């Protein structure tokens, strides 16, 4: 019971569905060239302020536990 030898010159089967819809597929570039626009000093200052506000919000605004959990904790402390 040996292995069958594969024919290397044999053509692969073509999926008809892939062939039909190939025209709708767009080639995507492998790398994206993203450049940020040059900001004026005012815009840079505004951006820095906005980022600091967001950072402060995320740092200090923790999600409070739900009302039921708070009530349960208060009962257990009595």
CA distance 59 to 51: 12
| Torsion from C-alpha of 21, 24, 30, 31, nearest 10 degrees | -160
- Judged against a pLDDT cut of 90, whether residue 34 lies above it is answered with no
Mean pLDDT of 3-12: 75
Give the chain's domain count.
Answer: 1
- 36 part of a folded domain: no
- 59 part of a folded domain: yes
Mean pLDDT of 47-71: 88
- 29 part of a folded domain: no
Residue 49, domain extent: 42-78
- 56 part of a folded domain: yes
- 49 part of a folded domain: yes
Query: Taking the CB of residue 26, how many other CB atoms lie within 10 A of it?
Result: 5
- 2 part of a folded domain: no
- Judged against a pLDDT cut of 70, whether residue 2 lies above it is answered with no
- 22 part of a folded domain: no
């Amino acid at each position: 019971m040996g292995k069958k030898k594969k024919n290397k010159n044999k053509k692969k089967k073509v999926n008809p569905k892939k062939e039909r819809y190939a025209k709708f597929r767009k080639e995507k570039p492998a790398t994206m060239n993203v450049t940020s626009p040059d900001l004026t000093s005012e815009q840079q200052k505004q951006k820095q302020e906005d980022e600091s506000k967001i950072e402060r919000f995320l740092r200090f605004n923790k999600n409070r536990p739900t009302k039921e959990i708070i009530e349960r904790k208060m009962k257990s402390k009595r």
